[in-house]
A = this chain, B = another copy of it.
Amino acid sequence: MTSASLDVVGIGNAIVDVIAHAEDAFLVRESLVKGTMTLIDAGRAEALYRMMGPAIEASGGSAGNTMAGIASLGGCGAYIGKVRDDFLGQVFRHDITAIGVRFDTPAATSGPGTARCLILVTPDGQRTMSTYLGASAELGPGDIDPKIIGAARITYLEGYLFDPPHAQEAFRTAAAVAHAAGRRVALSLSDPFCVARHRAAFRDLVDGHVDILFANEAEICSLYQVNDFDAALQEVRRSCEIAVLTRSARGSVVVGGDEVHVIDAHPIETLVDTTGAGDLYAAGFLFGLSRGLDLASCGRLGSLAAAEIISHVGARPLVPLATLAEREDAHRRAR
């Protein structure tokens, strides 16, 4: 195994977010389930956009957000995902490379436009997402660069990638290349409905090919079809080297072999928008793990990054997370 030049490579659906505020009644009227992600086609995307309030556009995508978080913490990362050579594709490429993430996947020159996610933020700060996959669904095994996978300590896959047709294959290719190079593979389950859509494939992957699993309570319960968090916890312990289970305001539980750590949520002043909370938790955790921190410290770094992201609109950091982490570290030492 050669020495790793990258901390993490993230693979995901390359998406630009279109974020607007909405009342709960709007979700009900449009049959949207709060806190979840629904796949929509181009026609529905246009119709829903017409009905939405004024919005802002910002680069997103679950793994894209995670990689932006890792770069913001001072980590070296790369991203693999598919955009179209259109305006939103340029925006996505600009934003991820401007923060220092390597992004070499060529843009599609034909076919559907760059993916967009219509995000409705309700007054309680919850986000409800409707995703038009567009060009991101074109990602296939040919886009997995073995040199980049081999150079990264951790290959991180977002579960949303199970939706597009060729991406599952890309997924398995990436995991195989990573393990052949002696690297670790991390997976986020992304969404309970996404898990339900692809449960058997996820179970197979988690059992045989994933070293580090990220899931929230609804996702891990959906994976094992249990109603009880503790039951799911006992299941996942047997499958993965490390399982990271996030529980919103109740913090997170990190399990690695016999070690179990219960990590409090990092305090925040005001909950504004939960978009990206899980993505940024993963960023903090993976950065810590890549830099050799113990599991509890990784969890605390995840909580810190998640707290920053939910304190403002949008799923990418507004301030350098490295500065927050240093400040937190100094504070901790002074206690």
Chain A residues packing against B (C-beta within 8 Å): 20-21, 49-50, 52-59, 68, 86-88, 91, 94-96, 98-99, 312-314, 316, 318
Contacts and interface: CB of A to CB of B under 8 A. Distances in A.
Contacts of A91: 55, 57
Nearest to A96: B54
Nearest to A121: B318
9 contacts: A20-B98, A49-B94, A54-B59, A54-B98, A55-B91, A55-B94, A56-B56, A57-B58, A57-B91
A135 to B, nearest CB: 14
Contact of A99 (B49, B54, B312): B54
Contact of A312 (B49, B68, B95, B312): B312
Nearest to A72: B54
Contact of A316 (B54, B86, B87): B54
A166 to B, nearest CB: 26
A59 B88 CA distance: 15
Given A88-B87, A313-B312, A95 B318 contact: no
Contacts of A96: 54
Nearest to A17: B56
